[in-house]
Each structure stands twice: as C-alpha cells, then as structure tokens.
Amino acid sequence: MSIWDKIKHGIEEVAQDVPRAAQNLGQNLGHGIRAQTPEEMQRCAEWEQALQQRRLPDFVQQRMAKARQGDLPWISTANAAELLLQRSHGVQPIGMVTGNCWYHFGYSWTQGHYDGWHTAVERMRLEAIALGANAIVDVRMKVRHGEGEDMDYGVTGTAIRFRDLPPAAEPLVATVSALEFVRLLEDGVVPVGIAIGAYFDWYMPWAGTVVEQTSRQAPFAARYWNMEITDLSNFQANVRRRALYDLQEDGRRMAAGVLAHTSYTQMFRVPDDQNSPERFLCRHISIGTAVSYLPKNPPQHELLPIVSLADHPLAPMSNPIKDLI
C-alpha cells in the first residue's frame, strides 16, 4: 500500500467515525453521560492490570507494532525545519510516545513529585521500546492539578531511530530536540535520562515576618521604607538549594551531569486557623536532561559568539565553525 493509499484510507476511516461521534454526542446530551460498553470496560481492566505489571496492554502493543512496521503514519513533535535537519543526520522519527501518572500526595510532596514524574517517564519509555526506538527526544512535561491532593503528571516526546542502528533495550530520554541530541552525541555528550529535583517546606514566623515586626516597632519606617523580607528570602533560598541538591543526586545516580532547563518556585501564604498560626509554604522543582561525557575530550563543535555582555574584547577563535544548534 502506497503512502497516498494509506492517507486515503485514514481519511475514509475518519469520515466514517464523525457521524458516529456526533450521534454519540447527541445521545449523551439528551440522556446524560452514558454507561461504559463492555468493550470499554474490558479495555479499562486491561489497562489497570498492565499498569500493575509495568507493561503495555496487548492492544497498545499491537498498535505500536503496526507503527513500527510502517503500517500507521508516524507523528512527530518536530517542526518542518527540524524534520529536514534530522533526516540529514540519519534520524528517523517513528512516532509520538506518551506517559502519564495520576498521583495522590500523602506524607511527602517532595517524594510525590519525584515518583509521579519518573513513573510517567518510564511508561513513556515502554511505548518507545515497543516502537523499536533508540531514543526519545523533545520530551515535554505537563502537570495538571486534580481535586484535593491529586495531580496528573504527563510527558510527551518523539521516539526516533538512528539509521543502521538496532533498537535499544533502554531508549535514551532527553528534553532536547532531535537535532540537539545528535549534536551532543557528535561532541561525545550522551543524554542518559531526565533528572528531577523537588522540595517543599513550611515556615511559621511565630513573631511575624521581618516586616510585621518592624511595623510594630517603627510603623512609619515599615510603611514608607523599602526593605527586604529577609526571613522569607532565606526560607525560599533554602528550599531552592535543597531541590537543586536533589537534582544533583538524581543525576549522580545516573553518573551524569544535568542540563537544568526548567526551574520554578512557588510561595503561598496560608492564613491562621484554630490549629495553626499563619504560615508559609514554599516549593521548588527543577527538571533537566542528564548527560554523561568525558571532560578531558575536547569539544568537536565550536560556537561563534554573536552577542556578548563581556566587558572586555573577545579573543578571536581560530577557524571558527558556525554551528547553529
């Protein structure tokens, strides 16, 4: 079957599904949410059993096998320019892979974030293995808050295969694009996974924050002077340092350094109640691609600086190579 026949066949299937979807939507609006069919209940049961056994359901394995053999169109998160550059480097996209994990927080927000993200990544890796991939690139991570203490961790990436390489037993995972992935490999830098560091803590200023203490002692100064709230700054800095330490430890477990590209902090003021005084909750999370390389090996690619904020002239490089990564 040619590619055009496959596209035509896919369009015909979509055209057949649209009337059925519209009919189901009308029935749902008229009679409320419908009950699951026996087939849907069976699929849900297979999913639950597969997740407990850390594998993919049989019907997902079959779909991945078709995509691996080229019977289904592949999907990629790359744009057109990146796709052309990937092809020039022998990179073949196989398909888009995903993984998610709904997680309920109990005793530890810190451990919950770590477990939730890593569980989602490992489930995404299972799909890449089923596709016969060498790596997963351009991984995008998204979290969604549920009700109460529940959160949904979702990851999406593009499974790729390198020309003339057999499938990998453990595909590499990276948040960089496929082209950046290849350039790192050319320079002897191997992305080996995703590292995560998260930490949260409480702060209870029993005597009030620095500003509140100053307000009681010098009301005029507190109202009109600019001042740092040093206790909150120190509290936030300590939380951030602990999260970055956990990020380093996560990279150390993979014997790798970390390209920390995502990092954010949240601070919440929690009003007092009958059981606790006013308090502050701070949490910080950092996520990045863990990379391994030999520092003694010289880099193969030189970068030509275009804009620099250095306060001294830049020394010209000998035979600079203009690499646009």
* CA-derived radius of gyration, the chain: 26
CATH number of domain containing 87: 3.30.110.70
Tens digit of pLDDT for each residue in 267-282?
888 887 777 778 888 9
Average pLDDT, the chain: 78
Q: Does 259 reside within a domain? A: yes
Tens digit of pLDDT for each residue in 141-153?
888 877 777 888 8
Domain extent, residue 242, equals 196-299
Q: Does 249 reside within a domain? A: yes
Between the alpha carbon of residue 85 and those of residues 80, 160, 181, 188, 270, the distances in Å are 9, 13, 12, 20, 50
Q: What is the DSSP string of 38-74?
A: HHHHHHHHHHHHHHHTTS--HHHHHHHHHHHHTSS--
Question: Model confidence at 294, in pLDDT bands (50, 70, 90)?
Answer: confident
- Is the same domain home to 182 and 200? no
Residue 9 has pLDDT above 90, yes or no: no
Q: Is there a contact between 134 and 82 (Cβ–Cβ < 8 Å)?
A: no
| Residues sharing a CB contact under 8 Å with residue 147, sequence separation 6 or more, in sequence order | none
The rounded distance, in Å, linking the Cα atoms of 226 and 161 is: 57
* Strands 135-145 and 172-173, sheet pairing: parallel
Across 66-80, 209-223, 284-298, least confident range: 209-223
- Is the same domain home to 183 and 80? yes
- Is the same domain home to 81 and 170? yes
Q: Does 271 reside within a domain? A: yes
- The tokens describing 83, both together, are 């796709």
| Residues 9-31, mean pLDDT to the nearest whole number | 56
Q: Is there a contact between 254 and 193 (Cβ–Cβ < 8 Å)?
A: yes
Q: Does 285 reside within a domain? A: yes
| Residues 280-288, mean pLDDT to the nearest whole number | 88
Q: Does 313 reside within a domain? A: no
- Is the same domain home to 171 and 253? no
| Residues 228-239, mean pLDDT to the nearest whole number | 86
Number of domains observed in the structure of the chain: 2
Closest CA to 286 of 263, 255, 306: 263
Question: Model confidence at 109, in pLDDT bands (50, 70, 90)?
Answer: confident
Question: Model confidence at 320, in pLDDT bands (50, 70, 90)?
Answer: very low
Q: Is there a contact between 133 and 121 (Cβ–Cβ < 8 Å)?
A: no
The amino acid present at 65, given as its one-letter code, is A
The count of other CB atoms within 10 Å of the CB of residue 12 is: 10
